[in-house]
Amino acid sequence: MTLITLALAAAAFAAEPTPTPPLERSQVLYALGAQLAQDYMLKAADVKAVSDGLADAAAEKPLKTDPKDLRVPLLSLRREADEARRLKQLEAYAKEPGAKVLPSGLIFTEVKAGGQRRPKETDTVNAHYHGTFPDGRVFDSSVQRGQPMDFPLNGVIPCWTEALQLMGIGGKAKVICPYPIAYGERGRPPVIPERATLLFDVELLDIK
């Protein structure tokens, strides 16, 4: 082996990243417990019952209640957690600077004031929008397509019908739509999941 080969081999060895130390099993199991508590929004008072179920199942003891017989209550528990998480999230949005909560549940924040003229429910408008889920995933965006969209205000989700009437031409707003005034409990599969909260950055460009 030549000196050049040795030098290249040494450089390659030095460039290899230091492997991440493997996690201890206890750390992974702790994370599993934390994830379970977060997914179901468990309270401190719930931990004993959950712990008993885990212990009996892990020890292969006869279970006091069989999960197979409680699928509906377990599903309801998860739905309750999802709903509590959704409401907590909406409360946080409502406390953001400048946010206004309308009786319908719409959370509207004016980012840039527009002109005096505002659309009516029967008008068609031209607007740019960027729609995301609370986790930041984009589900629809005229901004990304580079093409604003024309649409009648009485032909879109109720949240949009209400929000755009609060804007003047040239105005920009952050619009948060709870599921009852968006796509409802069922959503619009496969793009919009059930009970989805939708966030929009909207710019009203024109009223037709």
Name residue, tokens 């909560």. 101
Average pLDDT of the segment spanning 7-12 = 45
* Residue 97 bridge partners (DSSP): none
- Which spans in 43-70 are helix H? 47-58
pLDDT at 16 over 90: no
Would you name the residues annotated as active-site residues? Answer: 129, 139-140, 157, 183, 200
Is the N-terminal amide bond of 73 cis, ω within 30° of 0? Answer: no
Query: What fold characterizes domain 99-207?
Result: Chitinase A; domain 3 (3.10.50)
Domain ranges within the chain, ordered by starting residue? 24-93, 99-207
Element (H, E) at 206: strand 198-207
Q: What is the pLDDT of residues 34-82, one digit of tens each?
A: 999 999 999 999 999 999 999 999 999 999 998 999 999 999 999 999 9
Q: What is the pLDDT of residues 124-151, one digit of tens each?
A: 999 999 999 999 999 999 999 999 999 9
Q: How confident is the model at residue 6, as a pLDDT?
A: 40
- Identity (one letter) of the amino acid at 72? V
- The angle at the Cα of 169, spanning 167 to 172, to the nearest 5 degrees, equals 55
Does the pTM of the predicted model rise above 0.85? no
* Residue 161 bridge partners (DSSP): none
- Banded pLDDT at 23 (limits 50, 70, 90): confident
* Residue 140 bridge partners (DSSP): 131
